[in-house]
Amino acid sequence: MNLTLKKTFLFFIFTMMSTHVGATGEMMKGKRHLPKIVNGWTRSETPRLIDSKNIFEYMNGAGELYLGYRFKHLEVFDYISKDQANILVELYYMETADDAFGLLSLDWGGESVYLADLPLEKSNKFLAAPTRALYGGGLLRLWSDHIYARIMAQHASAASKAAVLTLGRAIAARTKHPPVPELVKNLPYEIDSSWKLRTDRLTFLRSHLVLNSVYYISHENILNLDHSSQAVIAPFERTSGSDGLKRCQFLLVQYKNLDAARDALNQFHDAYLPDYAKGLTATSTNAGPGLFKLEDGWLAYKLLDNFVAMVFDGPDQESARTIIQENESNLLEKGGIHAK
Amino acid sequence: MQNKKPVLTRRDFIRGTIGVTLGASILGFKWPMEEAQAAGSSLVAVVRDKNALDSARNVDSAILEKMLAQTLIKVTGQKNTKDAWLTLVKPNDVIGLVPTSHLNPTHDEVVDVVKRSLRDAGIPKNQIRMAQGRPHHPKKCDALIALPSLKAHWLTGIGTVMKLYIMYSGRPSNYHQSDSAKLGEIWNLPFVKDKTKLVLVDSLYPLCDKGPQADPRYQWSYNGIIAGTDPVAVETVCLKIITEKRNAIRGESWPLTPPPICVEAADKVYGLGTSRMEQIRIEHYGWEKDLLL
């Protein structure tokens, strides 16, 4: 009896230790080591740890943004100085580098910063600003492997900027630098020399809340976006013609399979176009794009295997059709979809 | 299918049918026009001083006090601060001050100057309390002074006036996402309704992008107070300023997204005031530069 109890106890202890080591190991994986002192600012001993359970206590509704991506946990450090305002460091550990990229892609504004050890995205012609770090007003945002970081000086100054950049370099040092998400690479940079992709407005996302914060479609999740899907949205701008600037939004969503893509497109049509009959395009990948003249221009959509491609605000039918078709060709060329 | 809840989409905004869809979506298929406030002119005061903040963004409380006095005079038409307050509140009212503590918080100096001004008007200190938070706070008050700060919000478009009382609902998460349109219903809760005597927006250092966390590139020294007794009209003026600032930053139209449906809903569904600029009279005083109105 005693032996049984002892065995049970030892098994319990072993299990607890394994679980703890596993959890700690998971937390330690890819962990960044920040300097204790930077130009007169001193780091708090241990970070505050935030996960999906307590993220709303830390940042209220802002937590929805990070949960809209594949968020693992957040480490928060305070750097304190005797005579200068604090610097806040937030390290968002994401499940994939794509998710960390997505967070940076929400806003390409600010001064591009080239941190040591951090290669430019030269291989990717789709990003006009070949950057992984952006600074402005005391805030540095950066994407480093599966980490998205925000480093903010409460009061911007030359001294705080130097400290913020030093911290950025420490975060980005000795890490992998994965390329931009594959989905982003599927977008054509130019179409027929007349449409150009606005890479400085390109956003990678997985959530309708994030989509709405970039380009509003509906308060409901009518495209069924979730963590199993990924999407990229960016405007195309017409580079030729004399009738003023023309811009339309292009959205490409990749679902886990064809059924999920078809269901999402059907749901979108029912909610967004209740006054239009559903054509072949909402159910078939073989037909041409669905084209609809709406209040703000032409809308086009097409099911492309497990992708849904959409154009909003097209200035005319032909432009909307062309943008869909060029993206389809690009996907075919890059192996994203297969010819029927 | 007939009873399926209508989905609010981009097309409703383009077509101008947001009110209809919102009404149907929120209240069923009963169009709530009869509940909407009768059309009338609402006054909103915008008072600014270029020295309200210094270069390090410290607030000059003496200047702020003068700005508050001007604001009260503009809003009430009275000749002095004491008379102005006494047209808004009764001397025996328990008065709750409701600032915001999240994402661009209300400056402490704004709260302090309002407290002092109320005391100077003869309101006893023990009748002035902080009333942000859970529902028991407004329940203990006879009058509320709303003290939000001017800011955009990534889930609701604007996060200034209508969103200020979200904690009074006791279930704030119910007003995120698509249900942000219903923020106005909180103002009609029995223990909130008709208690708001003044909406005074701290517009010293607004935030014009949605966040979700404050980004200093989208904050600027507006050095103002925006106030009125019609919460929807005040929010509408705030919205105009934020929109104009965003357009100026980008050099092109940069509308808030998602669109701030709670403002139009507050007008057309909940009858809390007017969201129509043509029905709002703006009284400006002080610094003119970059007024954005």
Query: Taking 50 as the threshold, does the pLDDT of residue B240 lie above it?
Result: yes
Distance from CA of B79 to the nearest CA of A (A): 40
Three-state DSSP class for residue B255: coil
Q: Is residue A17 classed exposed, middle or buried when 0-12, 13-18 and 19+ CB atoms within 10 A define those classes?
A: exposed
Name residue A90's beta-bridge partners. Answer: A76, A150
Q: Which residue is closest to B219 within chain A, CA to CA?
A: A137
- d(C-alpha A123, C-alpha B131), whole Å: 56
Tokens 């569904």, residue located: B269
pLDDT at B19: 66
The predicted model gives A221-229 an average pLDDT of: 97
Here the tokens at position B53 are 């903040």
Chain A contact set for B212 (CB, 8 A): 59, 61-62, 64-65
pLDDT band at A335 (very low <50, low <70, confident <90, very high): confident
Query: Taking 60 as the threshold, does the pLDDT of residue A24 lie above it?
Result: no
Q: Note whether B266 and B163 are within 8 A (CB).
A: no
Q: Which of A61, A137, A218 sits opposite B216 (nearest CB)?
A: A137
The predicted model gives A174-189 an average pLDDT of: 87
The predicted model gives B154-167 an average pLDDT of: 93
Side-chain-facing half-sphere of B158: CA atoms under 13 Å: 27
Q: Give chain A's contact residues with B (Cβ, < 8 Å).
A: 56, 59-62, 64-65, 107, 109-110, 136-139, 150, 152, 155-156, 209, 212-220, 222, 271-272, 294-296, 312
Virtual torsion, Cα B276, B281, B285, B291, nearest 10 deg: 30
Question: For an interface test with B, which of A60, A203, A207 has the most B Cβ atoms less than 10 Å from its Cβ?
Answer: A60
pLDDT at A61: 81
Name residue B130's beta-bridge partners. Answer: B97
Chain B contact set for A137 (CB, 8 A): 215-217, 219
Q: Which of B269, B270, B196 is nearest to B229 (CA)?
A: B196
Query: Using the beta-carbon criterion (under 8 Å), do B212 and A136 form an inter-chain contact?
Result: no
Q: Which of B7, B211, B261 sits opposite A222 (nearest CB)?
A: B7
The predicted model gives B226-231 an average pLDDT of: 98
Three-state DSSP class for residue A38: strand
pLDDT digits (tens, 9 = 90+) for A243-298: 666 899 999 999 999 999 999 999 999 999 999 987 655 666 667 889 999 998 99
The predicted model gives A46-64 an average pLDDT of: 91
Domain ranges of chain A: 32-172, 182-333
Sort strands A41-43 and A37-38 into parallel, antiparallel or unpaired: antiparallel
The predicted model gives A94-102 an average pLDDT of: 96
Query: Taking 80 as the threshold, does the pLDDT of residue B45 lie above it?
Result: yes
B164: left (phi over 0), alpha (psi -120 to 50) or beta: alpha
Q: What are the Cα distances from residue A13, in Å, to A5, A8, A9, A18, B176?
A: 12, 9, 6, 8, 43
String of DSSP letters for A98-133: HHHHHHHTT---SEE---TT----TT-TT-SS--SE
Sort strands A307-314 and B196-207 into parallel, antiparallel or unpaired: unpaired
Chain B contact set for A212 (CB, 8 A): 257-258
Q: Is residue B134 classed exposed, middle or buried when 0-12, 13-18 and 19+ CB atoms within 10 A define those classes?
A: exposed
Contacts 24+ apart (CB under 8 A), A285-293: A285/A258, A285/A340, A286/A340, A288/A321, A289/A320, A289/A321, A289/A324, A289/A325, A291/A317, A291/A320, A291/A321, A293/A317
Query: Using the beta-carbon criterion (under 8 Å), do A272 and B11 form an inter-chain contact?
Result: yes
Q: Which of B101, B110, B104 is nearest to B59 (CA)?
A: B110
String of DSSP letters for B103-137: SSPPPHHHHHHHHHHHHHTT--GGGEEE--SSTHH
Query: Using the beta-carbon criterion (under 8 Å), do B10 and A216 form an inter-chain contact?
Result: yes
pLDDT band at B22 (very low <50, low <70, confident <90, very high): low
Helices B108-120 and B81-88, interaxial angle, to 10°? 90
pLDDT digits (tens, 9 = 90+) for A149-165: 999 999 999 999 999 99
- d(C-alpha A196, C-alpha A198), whole Å: 6
Sort strands B149-153 and A37-38 into parallel, antiparallel or unpaired: unpaired
pLDDT band at A33 (very low <50, low <70, confident <90, very high): confident
3-state SS string for A279-304: CHHHCCCCCCCEEEEECCEEEEEEEE
- d(C-alpha A119, C-alpha A101), whole Å: 14
Q: What are the Cα distances from residue A314, in Å, to A55, A116, A119, A132?
A: 39, 42, 36, 31
Q: What is the CATH T-level fold of the domain A182-333, as seen in this structure?
A: Protein Transport Mog1p; Chain A (3.40.1000)
- d(C-alpha B252, C-alpha B59), whole Å: 32
Q: Which residue is closest to B220 within chain A, CA to CA?
A: A137
Average predicted confidence (pLDDT) for chain B: 90
Average predicted confidence (pLDDT) for chain A: 85
Query: Taking 50 as the threshold, does the pLDDT of residue B31 lie above it?
Result: no
A193 vs A96, higher pLDDT: A96
- d(C-alpha B213, C-alpha B217), whole Å: 12
pLDDT at B138: 97
pLDDT digits (tens, 9 = 90+) for A162-181: 999 999 999 988 788 888 99
Query: Taking 60 as the threshold, does the pLDDT of residue B236 lie above it?
Result: yes
pLDDT at A11: 42
Q: Note whether B149 and B111 are within 8 A (CB).
A: no
- d(C-alpha A150, C-alpha B33), whole Å: 46
Tokens 């705080």, residue located: A160
pLDDT band at B210 (very low <50, low <70, confident <90, very high): low
Q: Which of A231, A138, A241 is nearest to A183 (CA)?
A: A231
For A86, residues 6+ apart whose C-beta sits below 8 A from its C-beta are A41, A78, A79, A80, A153, A154
The predicted model gives A128-153 an average pLDDT of: 87
- d(C-alpha B173, C-alpha A56), whole Å: 10
Kindly report the pTM of this predicted structure: 0.88
Q: Which of A110, A215, A219 sits opposite B178 (nearest CB)?
A: A219
B47: left (phi over 0), alpha (psi -120 to 50) or beta: beta
pLDDT band at B177 (very low <50, low <70, confident <90, very high): low
pLDDT band at A313 (very low <50, low <70, confident <90, very high): very high
Q: Which residue is closest to B217 within chain A, CA to CA?
A: A137
Which of the following CATH numbers is that of domain B32-286: 1.10.357, 3.40.50, 3.30.2170, 3.30.2290? 3.40.50
Q: Cα A66 from chain centroid?
A: 10
pLDDT at A47: 95
- Lowest mean pLDDT, pick from A5-19, A171-185, A238-252: A5-19
Chain B contact set for A107 (CB, 8 A): 215
pLDDT band at A3 (very low <50, low <70, confident <90, very high): very low
Query: Using the beta-carbon criterion (under 8 Å), do A110 and B177 form an inter-chain contact?
Result: no
pLDDT digits (tens, 9 = 90+) for B71-107: 999 999 999 999 999 999 999 999 999 999 988 999 9
Chain B contact set for A292 (CB, 8 A): none
Tokens 């923020």, residue located: B183
Tokens 């200068």, residue located: A84
